[in-house]
Homo-oligomer: A and B are copies of this chain.
Amino acid sequence: MKKQLVAVAAATALLGAAAVHAQGIQIAPAGSTPSRLGGSQNFVGHVTVDMAQVGQSGQHGSVGMVDFAPGARTAWHVHPVGQLLIVTDGKGWVQEQGQPRREIKAGDVVWIDADVKHWHGAASANGMRHWAVAYKKDGQSSNWKEQVSDDQYQGR
């Protein structure tokens, strides 16, 4: 009998959790997932990534805040469905392969088309933070390539 009660309680807890998740509005509170450092395979320099766990539902694939220290940047990469960047602080650079490096600053909104090889990051003398909204195709939102060399980063 006790086991049955525990089982019922567990099932109720699961149903409760499912009901919350089944709501049509998901809220990922600030600080609800730990920050992680950007790995040295996909980034150069000090990068902090805060992902928001609302990506299981809907059309968007992933949502996160990325904080680049001065000089820090992503590796070259491609998004199979594109990416939206919303710059919240500081000054940085974004570059599409074969095009000049371009400046982005707090308040700018950037759209990167699907299959465009590019990188983004802080400027050499200023940090930069942005929200990044990437869209998924076959479960993938980014295809990572080689690092951005210092010459490429400096626009030389």
Q: Is the CB of B24 within 8 A of A63?
A: no
Tell me the bound Cα distance from A133 to B102 in angstroms.
24
Given A30-B105, A107-B31, A131-B131, A96 contacting B58 (CB threshold 8 A): no
How many monomers of this protein are in the complex? 2
Q: Which residues of B contact A57 (CB under 8 A)?
A: 82, 111, 113
Give the total of A residues in contact with B, Cβ under 8 Å.
43
Would you give the shortest CB distance from A121 to chain B, in whole angstroms?
14
A109–B30 alpha-carbon span in the complex (Å): 7
A interface with B by C-beta (< 8 Å):
23-31, 52, 54-55, 57-60, 63, 81-82, 84, 86, 88, 94, 96, 99, 102, 104-116, 118, 131, 133, 135
